[in-house]
Structure formats: structure tokens, C-alpha cells
Chains A and B, each alone.
Chain A
């Protein structure tokens, strides 16, 4: 089954404790991205990647890191999480990133930073 898999589904952590949210897709997509969703703000892009070893900042990259060493994986790293990073996070992918391609989304990760 074609899918984007995110883990974990829920995560509670404390300020400053490094964490990684994993994202993997099995559709051989070149384009992958991370979003955070906050009430009243919709989804905002954190980082995106057009291909292996190619990553770019989105609208809200501060406090986040990503890497794209393999085509299928695109982990999101919070080196020193803070409470303002409490949010619902989505990983998404599409074939090449063209305007006519819909995004396939993971099931989301609800992160709480205490």
C-alpha cells in the first residue's frame, strides 16, 4: 500500500531534550516536506526536499533540522525543543514537486514540549 509513515504518533518531551520524528515513503517520491499545524494558522511549511541531499527552508525553519540521505526517508530533528514547538506535525511527499501534484500526507505527530 502506498503510504507515508510517520513516527511517533504522539510525543511528550521536555525543553532541551533532542528528538527526531521519522518520516518514510514507499512511493519513490522525489519531493518530501514537513509542516506544522497550529490553530488559526493552518499548515506552515518547515523544510522541504526536492531530492536526495537537496533541502530548503520553508516558512518556519527556525529550531528545526532535516536531512535527506536516502530517497525514502526525511527525518525532522529538534535539537533543543522549546514549548513554542508544541504542535501537530505532518510529513508529506509527492512525485517531483510540480504544481499539479497532490501531496500524500503521513498521519501526523502530536508533539508536546513541557
Chain B
């Protein structure tokens, strides 16, 4: 069965500094995708970044990068040069191709990030 764990309920960072949000996952399927979504206080879900299980390089999207350590089953999100607008809830999620869970996106519990000026 799929499982995603985010162990940081809340994180604080100073504006312009970098921050890492932790995510570990568990799946028995070799083919899977890892996603990060941002949920600002307005409530919408905003896609940030994707990493495939067979990708050789870590994914990057602007100020977002994913530190993918396959052997450790971790997919941490790194936000560089934090901005006040980065204050939000962040969710790690996974999809795999295995059996009855095909198509399903499993989410972690979320991490609330607060950026201080």
C-alpha cells in the first residue's frame, strides 16, 4: 500500500533564506510519481513540482527543487530564496502504477510554512 509521511507539522523560515520540507514515502511498485502541491490560505491546490521514479536527475522548477533520494525513499522539497508569498500549506503526494491503487494520488499530512520578513 502507498504511504506518504510529512513529519514537520510547521516550519518557519526567514525571508530570502532556503528551506527544506521533508517527505518520505513507501510503495512496493517500481513505477511511481512524486508531487508537491502548495495550498495558500485561499484554499486552492497549486501544483509545484514532479519527480518520476526513473528520473536520473532531481527535478527543478524555478525556486523549487526536489531532493530525490530513492534508496531512502525520500522526496524533500527545497525552496530557495523564500518569499512572503511562500507562506502556505505544502503537501507531498505520490501516484503509482500498482494493482488496485492505479491512478490514486496519496497525500501526506501537510506542512505549514511561515515565512518571516
Contact surface of A with B, Cβ cutoff 8 Å = 31, 33, 35, 40-45, 48, 50, 56, 58, 88, 90, 92, 97-105, 107-108, 110
Contacts and interface: CB of A to CB of B under 8 A. Distances in A.
B103 A50 contact: yes
Contacts of A100: 33, 50, 52, 95
B97 to A, nearest CB: 5
Contacts of A90: 45
B32 A42 contact: no
Given A42-B91, A43-B91, A97-B102, A102 B107 contact: no
Contacts of B73: none
Contacts, number: 68
Interface in B1-53: 4, 6, 9, 31-33, 35, 37, 43-45, 47, 50, 52-53
Interface string B76-117: 000000000000000101011100101111111110000000
A50 B103 CA distance: 8
